Amino acid sequence: MRSTLFSLLCSLSLATSPAIAAAAAQRAPPPAVAGAEEAAGEHIALWPAGGVPGESGPARGLHVVERSADPARPDRYVDQIDAPWLVVHAPAQSNGKALLVIPGGGYQRVVIDKEGTALVPRWVDRAGYTLFVLRYRLPEAGRDRQAALADAQRAMRVVRAAAARRGLDVEDIAVMGFSAGGHVAARLATGYDTPAYPPADAADRLSARPSRAVLVYPVIDMGPQAHGGSRLRLIGEPADAALVRRYSMQDQVRADMPPTLLLHAADDRVVSVDNSLLMARALAAAGVEHELHVFAHGGHGFGMRAAADSTTALWPDIAQRWLRAQTQTQTPEGHP
């Protein structure tokens, strides 16, 4: 069995947050704020025009909401996503590494800034990563629950298809997900070869397996430790036992999934740290190389805005060192 490193700064076990009421989940989205725009950067449509699997009719227009009153600290999100896309942030001096970023939002929205644009100075400008930030489809009535997985698989294949042209290592494309986006990233890491959509073009002949996975305060469990809002929107309430198991990522761990890094705050009262603890135990049992770092403080959703003097603020350095240390791409035989 490969070695397991647990770096535990605190090992509190927290209760899960209460489930969000169904009525709240179904409320109409707030109006877009005047002047609110999507993130700057190159935008790439994920699917051929009119070819988003399972979608029919015209896609709704861009709906961006700004929640911050401070122009220096924007806090935007986007929802009503019918035609998913990638936002590319490319460095002036590339390190040759690509990172598929999947922001959170409780499966209700996709946040833009603290788990997206805020990554740019430290990850792109300083470290040289090329970031591909995913705007994925969210659960809605009549939409396949596998839509987000399909978008994540397709995103990995689109990035891989463009890697050589962009001067990126086709064998070293990692995924990093936050909160509910961490659940999507875990679904990709454990289900990269699950048939989630019919092939659209040559890119779909490529592997969707990430070289490694970074999960930051991830939603993992759909059972007792579930984030109520994510479970409600993805599988509904009362939750069917088969769906709970299918979408509880600790139950989907497999020996040939990529090495995984878990980062969580012990005082997270939105997505309990028990989610990462459950995942770490499952990874250890399957012999998957992994690390778990639990910080004493940070709460939920700290992203790139953790207190500067906290140990939690060190997580990007930990993640980047871990990514650099993984020198062997563990691609199972039969998966290019």
Q: Distance between CA 26 and CA 140 in Å, rounded?
A: 9
Per-residue confidence at 49, pLDDT binned at 50, 70, 90?
confident
- Rounded to an integer, the average pLDDT of 263-285 is 98
Per the listing, tokens 């590339």 go with 94
pLDDT one-digit tens code per residue, 163-217: 999 999 999 999 999 999 999 999 999 999 999 999 999 999 999 999 999 999 9
* Residue (of 99, 52, 328, 130) closest to 216 by Cα position: 99
What confidence score (pLDDT) does residue 32 get? 56
- Rounded to an integer, the average pLDDT of 137-166 is 97
Contact between residue 303 and residue 17 where contact means Cβ atoms under 8 Å apart: no
Inform me whether the pLDDT recorded for 270 exceeds 90. yes
**Measured CA distances, 221 to 33, 317, 327 (Å):** 34, 27, 30
302, burial (CB in 10 Å: exposed 0-12, middle 13-18, buried 19+):
buried
pLDDT one-digit tens code per residue, 66-97: 999 999 999 999 999 999 999 999 999 999 99
- The alpha carbon torsion through 235, 241, 243, 245 (nearest 10 deg) reads 120
What are the residue ranges of helices labelled H in 169-240?
180-191, 228-235
What confidence score (pLDDT) does residue 6 get? 37
Contact between residue 177 and residue 183 where contact means Cβ atoms under 8 Å apart: yes
Per-residue confidence at 122, pLDDT binned at 50, 70, 90?
very high
Inform me whether the pLDDT recorded for 227 exceeds 70. yes
Percent of the chain with pLDDT over 70: 86
Q: Distance between CA 54 and CA 268 in Å, rounded?
A: 35
What confidence score (pLDDT) does residue 187 get? 98
Q: What is the DSSP letter of 214?
A: E
For the CA atoms of the chain, what is the radius of gyration?
18
- 22 vs 68, residue with greater confidence: 68
Query: Best-predicted range by mean pLDDT among 31-45, 48-62, 102-116?
Result: 102-116
Span of 8-17, 22-31, 140-149 with lowest mean pLDDT? 8-17
Inform me whether the pLDDT recorded for 19 exceeds 50. no
Inform me whether the pLDDT recorded for 130 exceeds 80. yes
- Rounded to an integer, the average pLDDT of 146-172 is 97
Per-residue confidence at 29, pLDDT binned at 50, 70, 90?
low
DSSP assignment of 69-138 = S-TTS--EEEE--SS-EEEEE--SS--S-EEEEE--STTT-EE-TTTTGGGIIIIIIIT-PEEEEEE---
- Rounded to an integer, the average pLDDT of 299-319 is 95
Span of 157-161, 175-179, 210-214, 237-241 with lowest mean pLDDT? 237-241
What confidence score (pLDDT) does residue 239 get? 83
Per-residue confidence at 5, pLDDT binned at 50, 70, 90?
very low
